A and B are shown apart, each in its own frame.
Chain A
Amino acid sequence: MKHPKATLLLQDGREFPGWSFGYHGPSEGEIVFSTAMVGYPESLTDPSYSGQILCVSYPLVGNYGIPTEEPDAEGLCTRFESERIHVRGLVISDYSETYSHWSASKSLGQWLEEQHIPGICGIDTRALVQLLRDEGAQLGAIVPEGCPTPTAFPDPNLENQVAIVSCQDVIHYGSGPKRVVLVDCGVKHQIIRCLVARGIEVVRVPWDYDFNTLEWDGLFVSNGPGNPALCEVTVQHLQQAMAGSKPIFGICMGNQLLSRAAGANTYKLKYGHRSHNQPVRQCGTDHCFVTSQNHGFAVDTATLGPDWEPLFINMNDGTNEGIRHKTKPFFSAQFHPEASSGPVDTEFLFDEFISKL
């Protein structure tokens, strides 16, 4: 099949020529890169990518197609991380039009087309990654041939992406002796699956819901897209909850919001952590873990309050990877213990959380 031409356009005017696949229409957003080598169905449906155009550095994408999604009895996606694609566009090098896998029902291109997400292939993704690494994440657009070139590049980080991807209503999942309220900042379904599978009743509430009005044994703050500074409502709710001493666990955005609630600052990383191979070390131990990550902002450990301490640290660049309260059962991880996609080495953190309930 012949693909029409397309251009990846950066805000500053630089262009990367390639071919269009998936949806043939323009799209703009913040261009970020991931070095993960597998897991494109999971990544594309990860709400944390809301507002972003994803460049995958691994050149061969689409190899195993896209599986049919069949929600489970709880209404959770079994193969995706949410009900729809959240990236605004996909940038790759070598697209596998033909795919091969027992579970696949369509190609990556078909799926993108169905969901109106443009893709561009034939890009020197390594060169693009180097550019993003050296100059920081950029705004840009995928412009298929014949489509109008965008004139403005609104910064998705100025919008509250969390509000866009969070659920609108309270949703219940699972059953069990303990109840966990899950604050949905853009939660990946695997997180809910990890909790439900451990016999927990999960109450998923919107990001700005005042969960302090509910009864719960534990509080969970989910991952989510964009800038944590735009979620002050959630932070205030958290501070209120932290007056008590019921267990709190946060992941990714959850780590950032918990940190802000603990008085710390967050800042934007130059190009973020998006990969399956981020090494973290548990502070004060010789235990190291390979983790899956997807975040553009980080916690400034130095600004943490006196009752808090770092729990994990990134071994590549020394950035914060988690915090914990010195006395109360509050802790969080910047990485993704639920994986999906990525390594599952830190899933034990869910057990740790549940053991504290």
Chain B
Amino acid sequence: MLDNTLRKVLLLGSGALKIGEAGEFDYSGSQALKALREEGIETVLINPNIATVQTSEGIADKIYFLPVTPAFVERVIEKEKPQGIFLSFGGQTALNCGVELYRSGVLARHGVQVLGTPVQSIIDTEDRDLFVRRLDEISVKTIRSHAASSVEEALAAAAEVGYPVILRAAYALGGLGSGFCDNEAELTAAAGKAFAFSPQVLVEKSLKGWKEIEYEVVRDRYDNCITVCNMENFDPLGIHTGESIVVAPSQTLTNDEFHFLRKKALDIVRHLGIVGECNVQYAFSPDGEDYRVIEVNARLSRSSALASKATGYPLAFVAAKLGLGYGLFELKNSVTQTTPAFFEPALDYVVCKIPRWDLAKFKGVSREIGSSMKSVGEVMAIGRTFEEAIQKGLRMIGQGANGFVCNKPYKVEDLDWALQHPTDTRIFAIAAAFESGYSVERVHALTHIDKWFLDKLFKLETTYRELEACPSLAAVGRGLFLRAKRQGFSDIQIGRVFHIAEEAVRQRRLTLGLRPCIKQIDTLAAEFPAKTNYLYLTYNGTKNDIVPPYGAQTVIVLGSGAYRIGSSVEFDWCGVNAVDTFRRKGWQAVMINYNPETVSTDYDSCDRLYFDELSLETALEICTVERPFGVVVSVGGQIPNNLALPLQHNGINILGTSAEDIDRAEDRNKFSSIVDRLGIDQPRWQELTTMDDIEHFVAEVGYPVLVRPSYVLSGAAMNVCYSDEDLKTFLEMAVEVSSEHPVVISSFIQRCKEFEFDAVADHGKVLVHAISEHIEYAGVHSGDATIQFPPQKLYCVTAARIRRVAAAIAAELHITGPFNIQFLAHQGQVKVIECNLRASRSFPFVSKILKLNFIELAVRCMLGEHPLPPDIDAFELPYVGIKASQFSFSRLGHADPVLGVDMASTGEVGCIGDNFDEALLKAMISVGHRIPKKAILISSGNAIQKADMLPACQMLHSKGYEIYATWGTWRYLQENGVPAHRIRFPNEAVEAYRVAGGEGAEGNGGAIPAALDLIRKHEVELVVNIPKNFTHGELTNGYRIRRAAIDFNVPLITNSRLATAYIRAFCNLDPAALPIKAWDEYR
């Protein structure tokens, strides 16, 4: 029964998306808020992630775009006085924050009741020592693990359990600070890093090669307990479950094994006293029936989001209701609407989750994957064979694969090594091994992947060989064709075998009458009739489960696909809002998307959800069944945008801007000639195919230049080159230049401001727009830049020029719907650098700051409603929004944490303040900055950058901060009257100073401290390290300082403009006195 004392409940969000904590918490939080709203309980949400769906109007009653930290949450509690708080829907961030509030007595003091799982149970699962003790009480085996509070203790523990060992940090996100160590040296290094994040580490015996199995468990306060789903990792133990391909349900467990582990999971959850949802992870020995519990997450997790999508069981929604006091028997199965929520879903399909990595974006980062997460997103593929699911999934991750086979050759020097050492591409090493004649046994011996999975993959190789043996596609019989389709071969993939186009394969397929059928996900394997709209396509079937209501007017909205660097939750917000708008207007809205971390793939957010590929083939098949009025390609980022032209060529109506016009903006040459014709300025650029041409062009435009290769061998894809030497090194080291792989070179303007122009147009007329301003100068990718809206330093004349240019482009391209243009502004002149005829990353940010939903307007334009331009002027807003980027460098060992022309951030926040300083401070704290109290390390690049930083340094000094500076910076500060402590660069030997008499050592008692020591010992609280330019240096001093800051968890800023703004803000304002205002209080 509902606890009637609850009238107002606070829910903590997870903040910015980061590696290990991503979109799944937008989904969980949104569901929980929906459950609360259904009960008539007032909801308060704290989440600075402005791009999420949960922070949209109508989801929570009060939204605070504030950091999820104890200090801010306490102040919101003081203000809002809620009776209850939910800690389990905002990932580790919310959980850790909640535990701190509990421990410090804040919750008790304010009479706030923790809903759902009691905090003591959370602590029992989080503290490894306690956890083992609790499970020992019921004789459940855990991995033998020894807590250590120092490196020495860790070494002693390892000596006892024997190498190899795994090191885990307590209270850490997604396995942060975890790793395998084969010997003392490796352990010493790893433990040193782990202690920077956690006061305690755990040393455990490694169980490499065991199976990894997970159960999602739900329990109510009446002790009723169910497992909603189990999952099995494709990769054996040793790879973080977030890094592994995962299948649901388990495939290689017998009934006894399945239910043995299930029973243990129920015993554990009951013993710990969980109320709501939790997961239990096991290591399970492949050659017997031995097991260990790896961990229990007493909260909604990445796996629970996946399990919800895999089964159709709304875990977060149910967990929230259970937290309010309901029993499982009092809740309904939301799919059938007739049967109760107390049941365990039966699947009649198999799902396959595959992580999406973006490791190629980072220089220096290791491609090996292991016990710590590196992936930035994931996909889920549904099929009725494993082969079908995994081939779909491998295409969905969007890194050029056509499936398991028929890909570009996998280049590797040592195939055995590639099989033995898991990397982001190991699955393709397996394909290469089969192709070069390895047996399943041999691959199994090298990878320890269960032979069942390998046998299935081998069947794909077999089919490929049979196809290849046919002289032409026409010679492929219907039987073989059907088998290939049932094994998940796409038309493109089959086309590759015969070197023919997708279209030819499609025609042949249709001639043979081969079509997929539509199946429902209904939680009960068809045992009961279900009105579910949660659908997927499969060739392993003969009957469609649904017939769309053909009388209704239907539109299809294409979603964003896997989250990746550059395309994330912001496009989910756009997709969800587009669907909402269509539905409010009386249309049937159909969503296609395959990202399990999203709200758009929540089946009750649209009329029909196709959890399937965003490919031409799949979209056309769905269109055949749905007969939509049109398809929206402009709200899901680049993946749907790229489908515009091919869909239109196949007779599909594209809503909004026409596919031809989208192409005119996308095609660099076409767009360039358009802006030239319109008399709009752009940085000079050329597409070049030989070194001679490149040299010639660079001689014309002068350095620096931005180099964008079309084919990248290694490292980052884009680079700024400042000299002949830079250019030569980059092109030789990283890039292939040929007529097949041209290089685009453009002139790069330094110290130039960058503006985003986000807008909606109606038949070529701009209806509404938002100009936002980068704090950093151009050169920092717009996805990494800190953005202020409304702009704080924009000349009227520049603003007018920007508007004029945008209006001309909108008219020329007949834009209807959302679009974004990026501008450079320099001395009153503006240049266009990019134009996308689709919603951009900043749409939710500007929409929420302006309180004007750009997507809603865009949809109304697409529908031909010709809405009136809203009467709103951003320049009149009495408040400021700041969007700041979240980086996940701590996850990406060895990567250089420097910002450049290629995007590196994994998420963002957007905070509001009455003034710029306030908004910036809130945003910076939200992305993990801690305001320094006494000491700051500054190492500030070239002369101009040093000058840029001087006012901030003066301010720091006047506020009593100690400044530690490397030699050049120290000297510059001295010369300008700012006292500072001199510190040594990593490569400066102690000896050299003694000999030189130790210039600058006076203030340090004669010894010059090393920068790295200060960082390691946390004697500085902020590191400002400005790289001299945007070239990627090798293992330089700067790199080592930056990397140390990341590895030892000291906040780092690498841009002088941002550093200056931030320093000014925290010198001007007291962080403890920042106003606590909800979104609706900014008016």
Measured in the bound complex, the distance between the Cα atoms of B527 and A35 in whole Å is 7
Known contacts A277-B343, A277-B345, A342-B259, A129 near B252 by CB under 8 Å: no
B519 on the A face (CB < 8 A):
yes
B255 on the A face (CB < 8 A):
yes
Q: Which residues of B contact A234 (CB under 8 A)?
A: none
Stretch at the interface among A37-45, A139-147, A195-203: A37-45
Least distance between A19 CB and chain B CB atoms (Å): 10
Known contacts A58-B525, A126-B519, A133-B526, A39 near B255 by CB under 8 Å: yes
The proximity string for A residues 285-329 relative to B, scoring 1 for CB distances below 8 Å and 0 otherwise, is 011101000000000000000000000000110000000000000
Stretch at the interface among B156-164, B275-283, B447-455, B691-699: B447-455
A340 on the B face (CB < 8 A):
yes
Measured in the bound complex, the distance between the Cα atoms of B344 and A322 in whole Å is 20
A210 on the B face (CB < 8 A):
no
Q: Which residues of B contact A103 (CB under 8 A)?
A: 254
A339 on the B face (CB < 8 A):
yes
- The interface residues of chain A, by DSSP majority, are classed as loop
Contact of B224 among A37, A94, A129, A286 (CB under 8 A): A286
The proximity string for B residues 214-241 relative to A, scoring 1 for CB distances below 8 Å and 0 otherwise, is 0000000011101000000000000000
The proximity string for B residues 240-251 relative to A, scoring 1 for CB distances below 8 Å and 0 otherwise, is 000000000111
A99 on the B face (CB < 8 A):
yes
Contact of B251 among A39, A63, A278, A315 (CB under 8 A): A63
Asked if residues B262 and A316 are in contact (CB atoms below 8 Å), the reply is: no
Asked if residues B350 and A345 are in contact (CB atoms below 8 Å), the reply is: no
Q: Which residues of B contact A277 (CB under 8 A)?
A: 343-346, 524
Interface range on chain B: under 10, 10 to 19, 20 to 34, or 35 or more? Answer: 35 or more
Asked if residues A59 and B327 are in contact (CB atoms below 8 Å), the reply is: no
The proximity string for B residues 537-554 relative to A, scoring 1 for CB distances below 8 Å and 0 otherwise, is 000111101000000000
Most buried by A among B328, B340, B384, B451: B384
Least distance between A333 CB and chain B CB atoms (Å): 17
Least distance between B994 CB and chain A CB atoms (Å): 66
Contact of A63 among B452, B517, B542 (CB under 8 A): B452
Known contacts A38-B253, A100-B452, A126-B541, A276 near B346 by CB under 8 Å: yes
Least distance between B307 CB and chain A CB atoms (Å): 14
A57 on the B face (CB < 8 A):
yes
Most buried by A among B254, B266, B540, B542: B254
Measured in the bound complex, the distance between the Cα atoms of B1012 and A235 in whole Å is 85
> Which residues of B517-573 have CB atoms within 8 Å of chain A's CB atoms?
517, 519, 524-529, 540-543, 545
Nearest residue, chain B, Cβ from A274: B527
> Which residues of B744-796 have CB atoms within 8 Å of chain A's CB atoms?
none
Asked if residues B540 and A343 are in contact (CB atoms below 8 Å), the reply is: no
A156 on the B face (CB < 8 A):
no
Least distance between A120 CB and chain B CB atoms (Å): 14
Q: Which residues of B contact A37 (CB under 8 A)?
A: 249, 346-347
Most buried by B among A102, A133, A290: A290
Asked if residues B343 and A279 are in contact (CB atoms below 8 Å), the reply is: yes
Asked if residues A38 and B254 are in contact (CB atoms below 8 Å), the reply is: yes
- The interface residues of chain B, by DSSP majority, are classed as loop
Least distance between B101 CB and chain A CB atoms (Å): 32
Contact of A275 among B258, B386, B527, B543 (CB under 8 A): B527
The proximity string for B residues 329-349 relative to A, scoring 1 for CB distances below 8 Å and 0 otherwise, is 100000000111011111111
Asked if residues A315 and B342 are in contact (CB atoms below 8 Å), the reply is: yes
Asked if residues B540 and A59 are in contact (CB atoms below 8 Å), the reply is: yes
Asked if residues B342 and A59 are in contact (CB atoms below 8 Å), the reply is: no
Measured in the bound complex, the distance between the Cα atoms of B340 and A315 in whole Å is 7
B287 on the A face (CB < 8 A):
yes
Least distance between B229 CB and chain A CB atoms (Å): 10
Measured in the bound complex, the distance between the Cα atoms of B286 and A58 in whole Å is 23
Asked if residues A345 and B266 are in contact (CB atoms below 8 Å), the reply is: yes
A341 on the B face (CB < 8 A):
yes
B263 on the A face (CB < 8 A):
yes
Nearest residue, chain A, Cβ from B330: A286
Contact of B252 among A16, A63, A127, A341 (CB under 8 A): A63
B385 on the A face (CB < 8 A):
yes
A194 on the B face (CB < 8 A):
no
Least distance between A279 CB and chain B CB atoms (Å): 5
Measured in the bound complex, the distance between the Cα atoms of B350 and A59 in whole Å is 8
> Which residues of A86-106 have CB atoms within 8 Å of chain B's CB atoms?
93-94, 96, 98-103
Contact of A96 among B452, B528, B540 (CB under 8 A): B452
Least distance between A292 CB and chain B CB atoms (Å): 9
Measured in the bound complex, the distance between the Cα atoms of B344 and A42 in whole Å is 20
Measured in the bound complex, the distance between the Cα atoms of B347 and A57 in whole Å is 8
Asked if residues A35 and B450 are in contact (CB atoms below 8 Å), the reply is: no
Known contacts A37-B347, A58-B347, A343-B262, A126 near B385 by CB under 8 Å: no
Number of interface residues of A (CB under 8 A): 52
Measured in the bound complex, the distance between the Cα atoms of B263 and A344 in whole Å is 7
Least distance between A109 CB and chain B CB atoms (Å): 14
Contact of A126 among B338, B526, B529 (CB under 8 A): B526
The proximity string for B residues 302-345 relative to A, scoring 1 for CB distances below 8 Å and 0 otherwise, is 00000000000000000000000001110000000011101111
Q: Which residues of B contact A33 (CB under 8 A)?
A: 527
Measured in the bound complex, the distance between the Cα atoms of B227 and A276 in whole Å is 12
Nearest residue, chain A, Cβ from B522: A126
Measured in the bound complex, the distance between the Cα atoms of B186 and A259 in whole Å is 68
Measured in the bound complex, the distance between the Cα atoms of B249 and A277 in whole Å is 14
B437 on the A face (CB < 8 A):
no
Q: Which residues of A contact B329 (CB under 8 A)?
A: 279, 281, 286, 288, 315
Q: Which residues of B contact A279 (CB under 8 A)?
A: 329, 339-340, 342-343
Asked if residues B541 and A35 are in contact (CB atoms below 8 Å), the reply is: no
Known contacts A57-B526, A59-B348, A287-B224, A127 near B343 by CB under 8 Å: no
Known contacts A38-B255, A42-B255, A129-B526, A98 near B455 by CB under 8 Å: yes
Q: Which residues of A contact B545 (CB under 8 A)?
A: 126, 130
Least distance between A14 CB and chain B CB atoms (Å): 12
Contact of A290 among B344, B540, B542 (CB under 8 A): B344
A64 on the B face (CB < 8 A):
yes
Q: Which residues of B contact A281 (CB under 8 A)?
A: 329, 342
Q: Which residues of A contact B252 (CB under 8 A)?
A: 63-64, 100-101
Asked if residues B529 and A133 are in contact (CB atoms below 8 Å), the reply is: yes
B288 on the A face (CB < 8 A):
yes
> Which residues of A223-251 have CB atoms within 8 Å of chain B's CB atoms?
none
> Which residues of A1-47 have CB atoms within 8 Å of chain B's CB atoms?
16, 33, 35-39, 41-42
Asked if residues B385 and A315 are in contact (CB atoms below 8 Å), the reply is: no
Q: Which residues of A contact B541 (CB under 8 A)?
A: 124, 126-127
Known contacts A100-B450, A124-B540, A129-B348, A342 near B526 by CB under 8 Å: no
Contact of A130 among B263, B386, B452, B526 (CB under 8 A): B526
Measured in the bound complex, the distance between the Cα atoms of B966 and A182 in whole Å is 87
Q: Which residues of A contact B266 (CB under 8 A)?
A: 345
The proximity string for B residues 694-723 relative to A, scoring 1 for CB distances below 8 Å and 0 otherwise, is 000000000000000000000000000000
Nearest residue, chain B, Cβ from A132: B526
Asked if residues A57 and B259 are in contact (CB atoms below 8 Å), the reply is: no
Nearest residue, chain B, Cβ from A39: B255
**A residues neighboring B (CB under 8 Å):** 16, 33, 35-39, 41-42, 57-60, 63-64, 67, 93-94, 96, 98-103, 124-127, 129-130, 133-134, 275-279, 281, 286-288, 290, 315-316, 339-345
**B residues neighboring A (CB under 8 Å):** 222-224, 226, 249-256, 258-259, 262-263, 266, 286-288, 327-329, 338-340, 342-350, 384-386, 450-452, 455-456, 517, 519, 524-529, 540-543, 545
4 additional A-B residue pairs with CB within 8 Å, beyond A38-B253, A130-B526, A288-B342: A35-B346, A126-B545, A288-B328, A315-B339
Which 9 pairs between the two chains have the least Cβ-Cβ distance? A39-B255, A100-B452, A35-B346, A98-B455, A127-B543, A341-B255, A35-B525, A277-B344, A100-B451
A-B contact pairs, 21 of them (CB 8 A): A16-B542, A35-B526, A37-B249, A37-B346, A57-B527, A58-B249, A59-B350, A94-B385, A94-B386, A98-B455, A100-B450, A124-B517, A129-B348, A129-B525, A129-B527, A134-B529, A275-B525, A277-B344, A287-B223, A288-B224, A316-B528
